[in-house]
Structures are given as C-alpha cells and as structure tokens.
Amino acid sequence: MSSKNSALSSLHDAFLQILPKIEAHARAAFRSIRCPHDREDGVAEVIAHAWEQFTNLTQPGAISPEQLALCAIANSSENPFTCARCSE
C-alpha cells in the first residue's frame, strides 16, 4: 500500500470515529422535517459536507466533531430539500 493510500485510510478511520456524533447532530438539526426522505437526505448531505471539511483540515483533531457537524449543517441548510414522493 502506498503512503498516500495509507494516509487516506488513517484519515478515513479517524472520520469513522467521530461519525456517530456528526450523525446525531444532523438528526437533531433535521428532526422537524416531516418527510422521512428529506430528513435522510439532509443527514446524508451533512455527512458528505463533514467528510469534505475533515479531509481539508491540516490537523483533523484541531476541530471537535460538534464544530464540524455545525459547519456541515450550515452548508446543508442552504439547500432546502423537496421530496417528490411526499409532495404528490
């Protein structure tokens, strides 16, 4: 395994350690969304934003999972979700 793959693997492992906290914050932030599809889309988007931000950090431990989640939620909240299945 190359050093780049090893670095990515260790970064991924570190993210998986904090993922439950990020997901819990996302679920709490989107609990008022009635459509379960939109709610799950919101949680998935927060996780994607958090991963993107996490990979851009020079020191992954420098920011708490809560701060990472809040930034990701703010980015996700800019795009309202609309479920075609529930709005028919």
Q: What is the pLDDT of residue 7?
A: 77
The domains found in the chain, sorted by start residue, are 3-77 (1.10.1740)
Where is pLDDT greater, at 16 or 6? 16
Q: What is the pLDDT of residue 88?
A: 46
> How buried is 4 (Cβ within 10 angstroms: 0-12 exposed, 13-18 middle, 19+ buried)?
exposed
CB 46 within 8 A of CB 29: yes
What predicted TM-score, i.e. pTM, was given to this entire model?
0.80
Q: What is the pLDDT of residue 26?
A: 93
Q: What is the pLDDT of residues 35-84, one digit of tens each?
A: 898 899 999 999 999 999 998 886 767 788 889 898 888 887 655 666 66
Q: What is the pLDDT of residues 7-46, one digit of tens each?
A: 788 889 999 999 999 999 999 998 988 889 889 999 999 9
Sign of CA dihedral 77, 23, 10, 60: positive
Q: How far is CA 13 from the centre of its chain?
A: 15
